[in-house]
Amino acid sequence: MEKRHTVCRLCSSVCPIEVYLKDGRLVSAKRKSSLPLEKAYYCSKLKAASEIVYSPQRIKAPLVREESGGKRDWKEISWEEALGIVSRKLNTFKSEYGPQSVCWLRGMAADWGAPWDYAIRFMHAFGSPNVIGNGSVCHVAREMAHFFTYGAMTSSDYKNSKCIFIWGKNDRDTNPPAYEAILYAKKQGAKLIVVDPIKTKLASLADIWLQIRPGCDGVLAMSIMNTIIEEKLYDSNFIQQWTLGFDILRKSAAKYTPENVAKRIWVDKESIKEAARIYAKTKPACLIEGNGLDMHANVSQNTRAVCILRALSGNIDKQGGDLLPQPVPTRNIQLKESLKAKIEPISFRYPLFNKFHKTRGDHALSSVMDAILEEKPYPLKALIIQASNPVVTMANSKRFLEAMEKLEFIAVIDLFMTKTAEKADLVLPATTCFEKTQLNLKAFSNPVVLQNQVIDWAENSWPDWKIIFELGKKMGYEKEFPWETVEEAIDYQLEPSGITVEMLRENPEGIFVGEKRYEKYRQERFNTPSGKIEFYSDVYKKHGYPPLPEFEEYEEDRLSFIQEKDNFPFVAISGARPNNFVHSQFRNIPSLLRESPEPFVDIHPDDAATLEIKDGQMVGVETPNGKISMKAKLSDVVHPGSVRIAWGWGEFDPRYNINDLTDDHLRDPLTGTTSNRCFMCNIVKLAEHP
Ligand SMILES: Nc1nc2c(c(=O)[nH]1)N[C@H]1C(S)=C(S)[C@@H](COP(=O)(O)OP(=O)(O)OC[C@H]3O[C@@H](n4cnc5c(=O)[nH]c(N)nc54)[C@H](O)[C@@H]3O)O[C@H]1N2
Ligand SMILES: Nc1nc2c(c(=O)[nH]1)N[C@H]1C(S)=C(S)[C@@H](COP(=O)(O)OP(=O)(O)OC[C@H]3O[C@@H](n4cnc5c(=O)[nH]c(N)nc54)[C@H](O)[C@@H]3O)O[C@H]1N2
Ligand code: SF4
Ligand SMILES: [Mo]
């Protein structure tokens, strides 16, 4: 069998893999680990790679919706015809309503590296500022808090760490390379602290597990800082030389004694103190936070508090600590400069979020529905949806469906006929990650690794890059899209780094640009307005936001439907991401579905006893927005008073769509983030599936 090297992009972990081929067909694939482990961690999605690639449900050719005699049907058309339709429609909207009436909506499946740049380049050439990604519910809202604290998002050097502090992240299932590094460090004696409202397998391995009340992370971070400051466990030289606002932080943290906050956040006061002491005294330590902090209407404040704690520990950019990136010099190909400055994006309410990063782009996802339904700041007429399934994944799905009804044109670029694609006028078939060469987000930071095409495009599908390049050419943007192949585009983008596609193919393990360096701030200072770590942020203040996190109100006020808690008494947590699924994806892949054939609501046995609910019984989950139903699983992984609802099942069966329950009105003021993660709900017994 022939062997080829690439990286997998079935999920955002982007693992290096070996792919085995026979007669040009993908037979199997294997993860590679850079760590001296007995064996690389198993990933069921990768094991199912050939099932995914050769799924009979893949869309085989561009499809246009036809209506005749009251019947709606799909008709296969050529790429030439399909691109002609998109081009004509877009030009009509442009001349009638202005280019801003068209919005490109992006999920994360095609990656946020170069594919994201191509979509933005296309839309900027067309003249619309509206390319919206889903970063407000994913990691970008968090990234902004890092940025305004010490200038860039840190990553954790688990492998060399003596104390690993994991906050709302479940690497075992969502990021196997990181999980391997945690296990490796643990074997070398590293301590593990986990903050998670759920007793995950990872939490069970921890030396200290803090079972926090969902959404109260900022208060917990402040109380850990309280102990560190009270017990003088910080490095005063570092604080004096490299930070701004320590005296105000000290005063602010004084309010959050473990004694004061413990009950409110469901964590025992001695555990808070113990976690603080271990974290502050063990060097080097690293702290990583995850999606458990995202999707909260308080994400900016909570994450700022966690970032300040990380900075206070003095581990920033130390080996075994929290590393600042060493970005690879590349060309910015987004063409933002060609846009007319006076056209505001639909996400105008979140200016700091739109501009905090040079290339990250626009991520206030909730603005899309506002623009369509409320026509603020102007109406949208058309959506191009790439690599996303918002009918299932967007907060308040019903409102999104309503918004789709109002649009005049929808094109979807996807592999499968999803619940979102079903609503489109045109569906363009994309290829899987194994069928395309791509520069992923990870490749913009060292080391640069290339995703290589290892098999031919299936049927008449095209990789995302080709769809965008050809559409650009069709619309007359030959100057912006002069490339015949993606390799030419990658070489152009990477030119300032001195790296080429050819070099990357010769070095499948990746190429490190420059020398690996620690404590870079000693030469370069921090990339903040003051050049220091900003415990106190003037920028936040100027934007009407607390310069230092404050949690005067009870945090549960930032949970959707809290005002109606008498009728909706349970805190719902949006469920686990098991290794076999990615959001709404892969329930159509038989071997992956067999691993977990149906969804469950986890209910604590004490609550189940009060409600007289038995294990396996069908229950309804209700919020003021809607009702779904699933079987109950009695389990002590959840805290009494909270339930965990399985995530991503709305594609399999709309009766399981958790986002029929969620709300898109309560939002984080800086980023527009909705509270998909946690909200108040009620549980009722049902005799059967309605
Ligand atoms: N309630 C609740 N809401 C959530 C979340 C939650 O946990 N709970 N999670 C949030 C998070 S973190 C995220 S990132 C979003 C995810 O939201 P989405 O981005 O909508 O997620 P997916 O369901 O993964 O949809 C990806 C789609 O892209 C297609 N696809 C896969 N690969 C490619 C490709 O290479 N090219 C193209 N064109 N298409 C491809 C897949 O078939 C699939 O239909 O959901 C958010 N919403
Ligand atoms: N298999 C698989 N892998 C994936 C994905 C997938 O869908 N499937 N999605 C990818 C994407 S887009 C993302 S964003 C990442 C996310 O990956 P992670 O960052 O690991 O996020 P989750 O697993 O959603 O949640 C992490 C933990 O946060 C906990 N949590 C829930 N609410 C709270 C809270 O209020 N506070 C705290 N402290 N913790 C809380 C949850 O119980 C969970 O154990 O995974 C990526 N990898
Ligand atoms: S975790 Fe699995 S699916 Fe995700 S990138 Fe790695 S091998 Fe692929
Ligand atoms: Mo995400």
Answer whether residue 122 shows pLDDT above 90.
yes
Q: Please give the distance, rounded to the nearest whole angstrom, from the Cα atom of residue 665 to the centre of ligand 1.
A: 21
The minimum-distance atom of ligand 1 relative to the CA of 577 is: 7
The minimum-distance atom of ligand 2 relative to the CA of 139 is: 14
- Domain 154-324 of CATH type 3.40.228.10: yes
Ligand nearest to the CA of 45: 3
Answer whether residue 236 shows pLDDT above 70.
yes
Q: Please give the distance, rounded to the nearest whole angstrom, from the Cα atom of residue 137 to the centre of ligand 4.
A: 7
| Residues having CB within 6 Å of any atom of ligand 1 | 107-110, 134, 137-138, 291, 295, 386-390, 393, 413-416, 418, 430, 433, 464, 574, 582-585, 647, 658-659, 662, 676
The minimum-distance atom of ligand 2 relative to the CA of 173 is: 1
- The architecture (CATH level 2) of 63-67+76-139+351-506 comes to 3-Layer(aba) Sandwich (3.40)
Kindly list the domain boundaries of the chain, sorted by start residue.
Answer: 2-53, 63-67+76-139+351-506, 154-324, 556-685
Sequence-separated (6 or more) residues with CB below 8 Å from residue 228:
234, 276, 279, 280, 309, 312, 313
Q: Please give the distance, rounded to the nearest whole angstrom, from the Cα atom of residue 173 to the centre of ligand 4.
A: 13
Answer whether residue 654 shows pLDDT above 90.
yes
Taking only the tens place, the pLDDT of each residue in 64-103 is 999 888 788 999 999 999 999 999 999 999 999 999 999 9
Q: Please give the distance, rounded to the nearest whole angstrom, from the Cα atom of residue 180 to the centre of ligand 2.
A: 17
**3-class DSSP state of 576:** coil
Confidence of residue 353 (pLDDT cuts 50, 70, 90): very high
d(CA 666, CA 657): 20
47 φ, ψ (degrees, to nearest 5): -60, -30
Q: Is 677 in the pocket of ligand 2 (CB under 6 A)?
A: yes
d(CA 652, CA 658): 12
Tokens matching residue 73 = 């049907």
Q: How much of the chain exceeds pLDDT 70, in percent?
A: 99
Kindly report the CATH class assigned to 556-685.
mainly beta
Tokens matching residue 623 = 């919020």
| CA-proximal residue: ligand 1, atom 46 (nearest) | 393
Q: Please give the distance, rounded to the nearest whole angstrom, from the Cα atom of residue 508 to the centre of ligand 2.
A: 29
d(CA 213, CA 196): 9
Ligand nearest to the CA of 424: 1
Q: Please give the distance, rounded to the nearest whole angstrom, from the Cα atom of residue 221 to the centre of ligand 1.
A: 30
Spell out which residues have Cβ within 5 A of ligand 4, the ion. Answer: 138
Q: How many CB atoms lie within 10 A of CB 46?
A: 21
Taking only the tens place, the pLDDT of each residue in 160-211 is 999 999 999 999 999 999 999 999 999 999 999 999 999 999 999 999 999 9
Mutate to test the pocket of ligand 2, among 116, 196, 223 (most ligand atoms within 8 A of CB): 196
Q: Is 579 in the pocket of ligand 2 (CB under 6 A)?
A: yes
Which of 36, 37, 40 is closest to 15 using CA atoms? 40
Answer whether residue 555 shows pLDDT above 60.
no
Answer whether residue 522 shows pLDDT above 80.
yes
- Mean pLDDT, rounded, of the chain: 96
- Give the pLDDT score at 660: 98
**306 CB-side CA count, 13 A:** 31
Tokens matching residue 503 = 């070099």
Q: Is 505 in the pocket of ligand 2 (CB under 6 A)?
A: no
Answer whether residue 579 shows pLDDT above 80.
yes
Mutate to test the pocket of ligand 2, among 15, 106, 158, 174 (most ligand atoms within 8 A of CB): 174
Q: Please give the distance, rounded to the nearest whole angstrom, from the Cα atom of residue 528 to the centre of ligand 2.
A: 28
| CA-proximal residue: ligand 3, atom 6 (nearest) | 15
d(CA 554, CA 549): 13
Q: How much of the chain exceeds pLDDT 90, in percent?
A: 93
Helix axes 114-126, 486-494, angle to 10 degrees: 90
Answer whether residue 359 shows pLDDT above 90.
no
Model pTM score? 0.97
| CA-proximal residue: ligand 1, atom 19 (nearest) | 107
| CA-proximal residue: ligand 2, atom 38 (nearest) | 168
d(CA 121, CA 472): 9
- The architecture (CATH level 2) of 2-53 comes to Single Sheet (2.20)
Sequence-separated (6 or more) residues with CB below 8 Å from residue 255:
222
Q: Please give the distance, rounded to the nearest whole angstrom, from the Cα atom of residue 631 to the centre of ligand 2.
A: 22
Ligand nearest to the CA of 137: 1
Q: Is 176 in the pocket of ligand 2 (CB under 6 A)?
A: no
Which of 454, 462, 455 is closest to 430 using CA atoms? 462
| CA-proximal residue: ligand 3, atom 4 (nearest) | 11
Q: Please give the distance, rounded to the nearest whole angstrom, from the Cα atom of residue 256 to the centre of ligand 3.
A: 40
| CA-proximal residue: ligand 1, atom 47 (nearest) | 393
Confidence of residue 340 (pLDDT cuts 50, 70, 90): confident
Ligand nearest to the CA of 390: 1
Q: Provide mean pLDDT across the span 261-283.
A: 97
Ligand nearest to the CA of 293: 2
Tokens matching residue 670 = 């800086």
The minimum-distance atom of ligand 3 relative to the CA of 174 is: 1
| CA-proximal residue: ligand 1, atom 14 (nearest) | 138
Q: Please give the distance, rounded to the nearest whole angstrom, from the Cα atom of residue 130 to the centre of ligand 2.
A: 28
Answer whether residue 554 shows pLDDT above 60.
no
Q: Provide mean pLDDT across the span 99-116.
A: 95
| CA-proximal residue: ligand 2, atom 32 (nearest) | 292
Q: Please give the distance, rounded to the nearest whole angstrom, from the Cα atom of residue 677 to the centre of ligand 2.
A: 9
d(CA 227, CA 256): 9
Same-fold call for 2-53 versus 63-67+76-139+351-506? no
Q: Is 300 in the pocket of ligand 2 (CB under 6 A)?
A: no
Ligand nearest to the CA of 111: 1
- Give the pLDDT score at 381: 97
| Residues having CB within 6 Å of any atom of ligand 3 | 8, 10-11, 13-15, 31, 43, 45-46, 176
Which of 207, 157, 201 is closest to 182 using CA atoms? 157
